[in-house]
Amino acid sequence: MSAVGDLVARAQQHTGVALDVTEFRGETTVTVPAERVLDVLGAFDAAPGGPLVLTDLTALDRHPHEPRFEVVYLLTAYAASVRLRVRARLPGDSPVIASATGLWPAANWLEREVFDFFGIRFDGHPNLTRILMPDDWEGYPLRRDVPLTEEPVEFVEHVPKVPSTIIPKSPPRS
């Protein structure tokens, strides 16, 4: 989509950051170095065709692959019907990235959720505390090295398999 291509080109020009652009199923994803993520997001926001709305901010854990974490920002331009995904990769030990709450107040709870589940710290966040897990919870549940707690249902003579063992994980298709 040329509207997205324009946005990306302008942001690249404006910030001078090397952006790695990929497309899959009609969606554009831009990979940004983590230290420059705020510059790039701000450049997208300020470009014509914006302002962009922060639709979603999330993270994923690619353990044991390094860099382990990816913080993913999904931006939408309502008027132009354009979506853009921005991705920043972070290392596994003490992942820190700048907070986007200055650009969008919507990032406040979204970053708290990412911190709660992955342990990624957001520099500059006004109140980086747990949001969905209990306040005294230890650990970061959505990390892939934390197993899902599954208790088998114990009937009288029969203990069925826990759901995740019914169909085991298959190797990726080659």
Partner 1 sequence: MSSGRTETLTINMGPQHPATHGVLRVILELEGEVVLDAVPVIGYLHTGFEKEMETRTYHQNIVFPARIEYLATFIEETAYCLAVEKLLGAAPPPRAQVARVILMELSRIASHLVWLGTSAIDLNVTSVFIYCFDDRERILDLFEAVSGQRMMHGYVRIGGLQWDLPEDFEARVRRIIEALPARVDEYEALLTDNLIWRKRTEGIALLAPADALRYGCTGPTLRGSGVSYDVRKAFPYGGYEQYEFDVPLGKNGDAFDRYKIRMEEIRQSIRIIQQALGRITPGPWIVEDRKVALPPRHELVRSMEAVIHQFKLVSEGIRPPVGDVYAAVESPRGEKGYYIVSDGSNRPLRVRVRSASFNNLQALPVMVRGGYIADVVVAIASIDIVLGDVDR
Q: Which of 64, 136, 138, 148 binds partner 1 (CB under 8 A)?
A: 148
Pick the binder of partner 1 from 18, 62, 123, 160 (CB under 8 A): 62
Under rule CB under 8 A, residue 170 binds partner 1: yes
145 binds partner 1 per the rule CB under 8 A: no
- Does residue 60 interact with partner 1 by CB under 8 A? yes
User: Closest by alpha carbon to 119, among 147, 91, 88?
Assistant: 91
Contact residue for partner 1 among 31, 58, 89, 121 (CB under 8 A) = 58
Does residue number 36 form part of the binding site for partner 1 (CB under 8 A)?
A: no
Cα torsion 106, 108, 109, 110: sign: positive
16/33 Cα distance (integer angstroms): 12
Using CB under 8 A, which of the segments 9-17, 32-40, 108-116, 153-161 binds partner 1? 108-116
Q: How far apart are CA 114 and CA 72, in angstroms?
A: 10
- On whether the CB atoms of residues 15 and 43 are closer than 8 A, the answer is yes
Residues 6+ apart with CB under 8 A from 174: none
The yes or no reply on residue 48 touching partner 1 (CB under 8 A) is: no
What is the residue type of 18?
A
Q: Is 169 in the site for partner 1 (CB under 8 A)?
A: yes
Name which of 33 and 102 has its Cβ closer to partner 1: 102
Q: Does 12 bind partner 1 (CB under 8 A)?
A: no
Closest CA to 107 of 85, 88, 122, 91: 122
Q: How far is CA 174 from CA 61, 170, 171, in A?
A: 22, 11, 8
The yes or no reply on residue 83 touching partner 1 (CB under 8 A) is yes
Interacting residue ranges for partner 1, rule: CB under 8 A: 24-25, 27, 29, 51, 53-56, 58, 60-62, 72, 74, 78, 81, 83, 85, 104-106, 108-110, 113, 117, 130-134, 141-142, 144, 148, 150, 163-164, 166-167, 169-173
